[in-house]
Structure 1
Amino acid sequence: MSSDSHRRDLARLLEKEAALRKELYRHESDAAKAMENVRRQEGSAMRASSSSSANTYLRGAERDRQKAVAAGKKAADVGKKIANNAREIANKQRSLESAEKTDRQSAEREATKRRQMEKDHARDIARLSAPQVHYVHIRPPEPEKLRVLYLTANPTMNLRTDAEVREVQRALRGAKYRDLVDVEQRTAASFQDLLDGLNDVRPHIVHFSGHGGDEGVVFDGGYLEAPSQQEVGFDLLVKALDATDEPPRLLVLNACDTLDGASAILPAVPVVIAMSDAVLDTAAIVFAQQFYAAVASGQSVGSALKQARVRIEAAVIDKTASELPQHISRDDIDIDTLVLVRSVAEV
């Protein structure tokens, strides 16, 4: 039954209660008046000058007493009806609350569905309006070191990016092919550091750790006098990543809410790993540590991502944190077969 039906039923029951209370008042008033007459006539009987007059008053008193008893019974019956109606009101109120809760949940599901459709539409629009840049094709792994440009930006000083890099380096030292991975870190990274790193490192992976959102990421402003920041949108970021003869094979955005806008990067970088919602420092650190440990052990990008999610879940950070790292890729890329580190003997 819908909440509107429950409201109508509840209104009807409340109207019934008002009518019953009015009826109860009438019967109680009748009983009170009858008893007042009884007292008055008994008093008259006591003051009567003759026995015949006294008897007349007493008979009248008896008739009024019977009227009072009858009115009292009617009042008691109405009282029972009021009690039963009150129980029905309570039950109907609970039913209404349950129906309203169901309606709210349904509305929330519809709103979530609508927001997702809007995001999908915005992503399609962004993909269609993406700048015309050339596509990099994934080549089979070569017998060379995997080069990682690791950019960290923390202008607000509220992220543990240094701890993240420390744990990644510790994980790499224990990896199977640790000698085949070079990590070039740029702390307090500005947008210029990204461009310089593309020239100097020629990275296979560009990793960014810091603040982000569905519009882009936040680099350090590069000023020495005071902390500052520069917001770089995905449209500018894709142009920067494409402005090199050898664009990266993988972009990792270890930053909050970067998944929705990251599809704009695919024309330049064939695979992007990003966060689908806000991510805690601990989850970000655990993710990066396990992901690079797996990559440096010769695992595919798909398996490395799965391992990172499992590690987050095992850390019991929160119920949904393990689902935050997600990937998007071009249609011709299968991350489950994309291996970025192999020994010379395997190539």
Structure 2
Amino acid sequence: MSANLYRRQLERKRQQRIDAEKKAGECRSKETEKRTAAARARTAASKAKSVTTARSKLREAKRREGEAAKAGKDAARWQGRASGYSKQETDLQAKLAKAEQGEQDKAERLRQREQKKAERQRAAEDRALQSRMDHTEAIVNNAVRELRAPKVEKLRVLILGASSESGDRALRVGREQKRIRLAVESALHRELVELDVRPSATTSDLLDGITKFRPHVVHFSGHSDDDLIEFEDELDDFHQGVVVTARAFASAVKATDDPPLLVLLNSCNSAAQIDRLIDRQVTPFAIGMADEIQDGDAITYAAQFYAAMANGQSIKSAHLSAQAALELAGLSGAELPTLAHADDVDPAHTILVKPAQ
């Protein structure tokens, strides 16, 4: 619930408490007034010279005392309500403080995300300037790299999933791999896509998949940060993963005569690694996540990305379609997936699944 909603509820509850305390005060004043009147009536009864007058004053005193008792009960009831409202006020104040802190944290994460995005933008502009200086002739002629297009063969996608720990760090990589497979099998050109799915992926799976399967696309889902990627070990029980540097991962992906066209790191804070993959010419296209991404967001993005690819869409369109799927599902991570590419390729015109003419 938003902080604004808690503020409105808190204001209503505060007004209810004030009104109840006012009612309680009015009832106490009435109780005092009636008891005073009863006392006067009893005094008058004691001084009356006639029996009739005395009895009349005693009846009046009794009536006033009854009215005083009722006013006292009303005062207690309204005071009880005021106490209840006060407790609810305290609860709402705690919830409001928590909501405000959550919104501040969210704003800070957004600020940091925008800062990282700006830093990547500046880095990209610096690379573009350096590229123009180093490759003037190629840029003037709008030269585009001759990619290893899979038009006469199936698009090969190596899917590596690693989540060796239980508890809070456990990820549903199996669910993601299933969703990707179902998305491809339902696509227009499903017969043109071949998947090599490796759950519980180790570093050996990475090297074996790169050299044996010769993938056009390398997809990793698991844990990572700005400079590390976590694979699994050859253990059956839950365990701490095998952490490798982003540089070591890039070297493994590059160690082939047929380097991939696209590397997709569907893991937290991996966008910091994709520019290095481009700079080291590991791959002309790379996708990473600009911040921590929720499991459901990562699964939805991956499924729609490969569905669009297998439907014959360009890399850019598949990326935009997957981001749109997150927004349509009401998920919060649509801005996290980040697409990077080399200066001499165009993701809007690169289609990796194309049927024979």
TM-score (norm 1): 0.61
- DSSP-derived class of the 1:274 partner: strand
Shift of the 137–283 alpha-carbon distance from structure 1 to 2, 3 Å rule, reads: same
Amino acid aligned to 2:161: T
Match of 1:151 in 2: 160
Say whether residues 1:272 and 2:281 are aligned partners: no
Query: 1:258 is aligned with what amino acid?
Result: S
Contact 1:177–1:297 (CA under 8 A) maintained in structure 2: yes
Deviations 1:225-275 (A, max 9, x none): 652311121111111111101011100000011001221111211110111
TM-superposition CA deviations, 1:285-313 (whole Å, max 9, x none): 11011000000011101100010000000
CA distance in 2, matches of 1:151, 1:341: 20
Report deviation, 1:216.
2.4
C-alpha distance after superposition, 1:90-136 (max 9, x if no partner) = xxxxxxxxxxxxxx9xxx89x858777777788999999xxxxxxx9
How far, CA to CA, are the matches of 2:116 and 2:349 in structure 1?
Answer: 33
Q: 1:306 is matched with which residue: 300, 305, 320?
A: 320
User: Deviation at 1:221?
Assistant: 2.4
Structure 1 CA distance, aligned partners of 2:117 and 2:238? 39
2:231 to 187, 202, 219: 219
Contact 1:176 1:297 in 2 (8 A): yes
Cα distance, 1:137–1:214 mapped onto 2, change above 3 Å: farther
How far apart are 1:217 and its partner, in Å?
1.4
Counterpart amino acid of 1:307?
S
RMSD between aligned residues: 2.8
Q: List alignment gaps of at least 5 residues for structure 2.
A: 1-103, 131-144
Residue 167 (1) aligns with residue 182 (2): no
Figure out how many residues of one structure are paired with residues of the other and give that number.
229
**Do the aligned partners of residues 116 and 162 (structure 1) sit closer, same or farther apart at CA in structure 2, a change above 3 Å counting?**
closer
Q: Which has the larger radius of gyration?
A: 1
2:206 is the counterpart of 1:194: yes
Indicate if the aligned counterparts of 1:222 and 1:228 stay in contact, CA closer than 8 A: no
In 2, the alpha carbon distance for the partners of 1:123 and 1:337 equals 20
Which of 271, 276, 296 is the equivalent residue of 1:259? Answer: 271
Q: What residue in structure 2 maps to residue 281 of structure 1?
A: 295
Mapped partners of 2:233, 2:336: distance in 1? 28
Distance (Å, rounded) in 2 between the aligned partners of 1:234 and 1:124:
23
* Aligned 8 A contact 1:301 1:339 in 2: yes
- How far does the alpha carbon of each residue in 1:196-243 deviate from its partner, in whole angstroms, 9 at most, with x for none? 001221100000001111112111123346523111211111111111
Q: How does 1:55-94 map to 2 (within 5 A)?
A: none
Structure 1 runs, 4 residues or longer, greater than 4 Å off? 111-128
| Partner Cα distance (1:295, 1:203) in 2 | 15
Contact 2:229 2:243 in 1 (8 A): yes
Q: 1:122 to 1:327 in 2, by over 3 A?
A: closer
Q: Is the 8 A contact 1:234 1:262 kept in 2?
A: no
Matches within 5 A, 1:230-241: 230-241=242-253
Unmatched 5+ residue regions in structure 1?
1-103, 129-135
Secondary structure at the aligned position of 1:294 is classed as helix
Q: State the secondary structure of the residue aligned to 2:251.
A: helix
Given the alignment of the two structures, is residue 327 of structure 1 paired with residue 339 of structure 2, yes or no? yes
CA gap of 1:117–1:280, structure 2 versus 1, over 3 A, is: closer
Contact 2:269-2:291 within 8 A present in 1 as well: yes
Contact 1:256–1:275 (CA<8 Å) still a contact in 2? yes
What is the CA–CA distance in structure 1 between the aligned matches of 2:211 and 2:342, rounded to whole Å? 25
- Alignment partners' CA distance in 2, 1:250 and 1:287: 16
SS in 2 for 1:211: strand
- Could you tell me whether the CA contact under 8 Å between 1:257 and 1:275 is conserved in 2? yes
**Separation of aligned partners in 2, 1:117 and 1:290:** 27
Aligned to 1:342: 354
Cα gap change, 1:116/1:183 in structure 2, threshold over 3 Å: closer, same or farther? closer
Aligned to 1:344, the other structure's residue is in SS state coil
Shift of 1:137: 4.9
d(CA) in 2 for partners of 1:244 and 1:255?
24
Cα distance in 2 for residues equivalent to 1:188 and 1:242: 22
Distance of 1:282 and 1:225 partners within structure 2: 25
- How far the C-alpha of 1:343 sits from its partner, in A, is 0.9
What is the CA–CA distance in structure 2 between the aligned matches of 1:205 and 1:160, rounded to whole Å? 21
Q: Is the 8 A contact 2:297 2:331 kept in 1?
A: yes
Q: Is this contact kept in 2: 1:222–1:229, CA < 8 A?
A: no
- Higher mean alpha-carbon deviation, 249-258 vs 138-147, is at 138-147
Secondary structure of residue in 2 paired with 1:307: helix
